[in-house]
């Protein structure tokens, strides 16, 4: 059977590959400590489950409006106004099957063949593939670890060409664990003024910020930023709802209309009763979102401190999301357990094989000096995994 060139051009997700290998080892009875997964280890709060179960029981099991049920679009608009200081009409919002789908569909809606998309490194693994599938060309910009891996306004200016259609800003960042300050974003927004460059602002980790870090939506920076921004968000990370598949986009009305037309032929609508879960999620009656955030904050600080105490490991303190992204390149060139470590992939493979710790090679995110460790796991497992990593690097 023939497979299209388009499908052949897309590799399987590197983050999932490590996870799969770790699961295989686990299935064989090996005690693997997994730092690979990008999802909260907490269960979805009960009030959200209850709402979805009640929706099934009451027969909310039919097709819904393509861009999502009106009540949910309205609730999202209210959330954006209250929490993000953003004024969107419900018609400017579309609900999708997860933020991953939101990214894919918005690129399909606004990019043309040959358009350029500026993607700072490190980047989330889906951006290159979604860009390519939209016929556009990814222009990566290598960031400086000394600037906490954040793109500077000067770099943005330099990267813009007549073909630039979009820049992706992901703050808080996966895999970097950093968050742009409002001033840093303002400076980038200023650089874009007078251009036709759209901003795809992926804000999926907005609730997970640490140490007093302030989150600001890109579209809230100025009137100009509002007009050029496609805001991506969803329920997966803040509400521990990864398996529910629920995300959304807020953008200028013409973008939402185009996405809605595409969605009508691709997925029709997000799952009816899942939308009912999303509708109540924002109420957070028991402060569970904040409690999860507090726990992540403790774990992130602990993990980064432990990593920085290991010789040849340099880890910026995470200010958002749930990832540590240490530079481990000081160990490249070494032979550990008979295996020569030349890059992040060798590092991750040998660590998993020899010390049974799963993490993700930074090469998958465009930063081969680094590896990504998720701290969406218990303190006990963080301790166990870092102990193993430390011992392995000393061996
Ligand atoms: C930066 C970023 N954006 C979007 C997503 C997608 O989230 P979901 O599709 O689960 O809503 C992820 C998930 O890992 C992510 O890390």
Nearest one of 56, 74, 57 to 65, comparing CA atoms: 74
Average pLDDT score over residue span 173-195: 98
pLDDT at 79: 97
- Ligand 1 centroid – CA 195 distance (Å): 28
Atom of ligand 1 nearest to the CA of 101: 9
pLDDT at 15: 63
Per residue in 206-248, pLDDT tens? 999 999 999 999 999 999 999 999 999 999 999 999 999 999 9
**Do the domains 5-43+288-394 and 62-281 sit in the same CATH topology, yes or no?**
no
Q: What percent of the chain has pLDDT over 70?
A: 99
Q: Which residues line ligand 1 (CB under 6 A)?
A: 38, 98-100, 124, 170, 174, 202, 204, 234, 236, 242, 247
Q: Could you please report the per-residue DSSP string of 29-94?
A: T---EE----S-SSPPPHHHHHHHHHHHHTT--S---TT--HHHHHHHHHHHHHHH-----GGGEE
Per residue in 274-290, pLDDT tens? 999 999 999 999 999 99
**pLDDT grade, residue 12 (50/70/90)?**
confident
Q: Which pair of tokens denotes residue 54?
A: 């009640």
Q: Which of 231, 236, 277 to mutate to test the pocket of ligand 1 (most atoms within 8 A of CB)?
A: 236
Q: Which pair of tokens denotes residue 87?
A: 């004024």
Q: Which of 107, 129, 174, 215 to mutate to test the pocket of ligand 1 (most atoms within 8 A of CB)?
A: 174
Q: How far is CA 199 from CA 133, 152, 191, 227, in A?
A: 18, 15, 12, 9
CA atoms within 13 A of residue 38's CA, in its CB half-sphere: 23
Comparing 102-106, 159-163, 348-352, the range with the smallest average pLDDT is 348-352
Atom of ligand 1 nearest to the CA of 170: 1
CATH of domain 5-43+288-394: 3.90.1150.10
With 0.85 as the threshold, say if the pTM is over it.
yes
- Ligand 1 centroid – CA 158 distance (Å): 28
Task: Give nearest CA residue, ligand 1 atom 7.
Answer: 99
Q: Which of 94, 124, 149, 245 to mutate to test the pocket of ligand 1 (most atoms within 8 A of CB)?
A: 124
- Ligand 1 centroid – CA 204 distance (Å): 6
pLDDT at 11: 83
pLDDT at 14: 65
Per residue in 237-275, pLDDT tens? 999 999 999 999 999 999 999 999 999 999 999 999 999
**pLDDT grade, residue 55 (50/70/90)?**
very high
pLDDT at 172: 98
Question: Domain-by-domain residue ranges, the chain?
Answer: 5-43+288-394, 62-281
- Ligand 1 centroid – CA 242 distance (Å): 9
C-alpha span between 364 and 353 (Å, rounded): 19
Average pLDDT score over residue span 99-105: 98
- Ligand 1 centroid – CA 362 distance (Å): 17
Average pLDDT score over residue span 383-390: 98
Average pLDDT score over residue span 155-181: 98
**pLDDT grade, residue 357 (50/70/90)?**
very high
- Ligand 1 centroid – CA 2 distance (Å): 31
Per residue in 14-48, pLDDT tens? 666 677 788 889 999 999 999 988 899 999 999 99
62-281 has which fold?
3.40.640
């Amino acid at each position: 059977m023939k497979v299209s060139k388009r499908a052949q051009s897309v590799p399987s997700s590197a983050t999932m590959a490590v996870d799969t290998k770790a699961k295989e080892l686990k299935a064989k009875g090996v005690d693997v400590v997994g730092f690979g997964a990008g999802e909260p280890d907490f269960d979805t709060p009960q009030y959200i489950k209850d709402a979805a179960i009640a929706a099934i029981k009451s027969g909310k099991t039919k097709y819904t409006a393509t861009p999502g049920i009106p009540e949910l679009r309205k609730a999202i608009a209210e959330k954006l106004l209250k929490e993000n200081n953003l004024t969107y009409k419900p018609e400017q919002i579309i609900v999708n099957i997860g933020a991953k789908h939101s990214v894919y569909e918005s690129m399909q809606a606004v990019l043309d063949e040959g358009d350029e998309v500026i993607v700072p490194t490190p980047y989330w693994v889906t951006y290159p593939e979604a860009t390519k599938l939209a016929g556009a060309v990814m222009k990566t910009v290598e960031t400086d670890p000394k600037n906490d891996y954040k793109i500077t306004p000067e770099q943005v200016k330099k990267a813009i060409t007549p073909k630039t259609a979009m820049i992706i800003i992901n703050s808080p960042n996966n895999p970097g664990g950093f968050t742009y300050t409002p001033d840093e974003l303002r400076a980038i927004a200023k650089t874009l003024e007078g251009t036709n460059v759209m901003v795809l602002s992926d804000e999926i980790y907005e609730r997970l910020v640490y140490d007093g870090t302030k989150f600001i939506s890109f579209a809230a920076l100025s009137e100009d930023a509002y007009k050029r921004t496609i805001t991506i968000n969803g329920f997966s990370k803040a509400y521990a709802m990864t398996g529910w598949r629920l995300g959304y986009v807020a953008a200028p009305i013409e973008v939402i209309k185009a996405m809605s037309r595409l969605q009508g032929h691709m997925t029709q609508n997000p799952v009816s009763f899942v939308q009912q879960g999303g509708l109540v999620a924002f109420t957070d009656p028991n402060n569970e979102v904040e409690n999860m955030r507090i726990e992540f904050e403790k774990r992130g600080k602990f993990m980064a401190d432990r990593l920085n105490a290991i010789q040849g490991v340099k880890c910026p303190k995470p200010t958002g999301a749930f990832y540590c992204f240490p530079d481990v390149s000081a160990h490249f060139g070494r032979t550990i357990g008979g295996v020569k470590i030349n890059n992040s992939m060798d590092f991750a493979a040998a660590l998993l094989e020899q010390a049974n710790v799963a993490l993700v090679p930074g090469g998958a995110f465009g930063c081969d000096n680094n590896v990504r460790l998720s701290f969406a796991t218990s303190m006990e497992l963080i301790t166990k995994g870092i102990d193993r990593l430390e011992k392995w690097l000393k061996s």
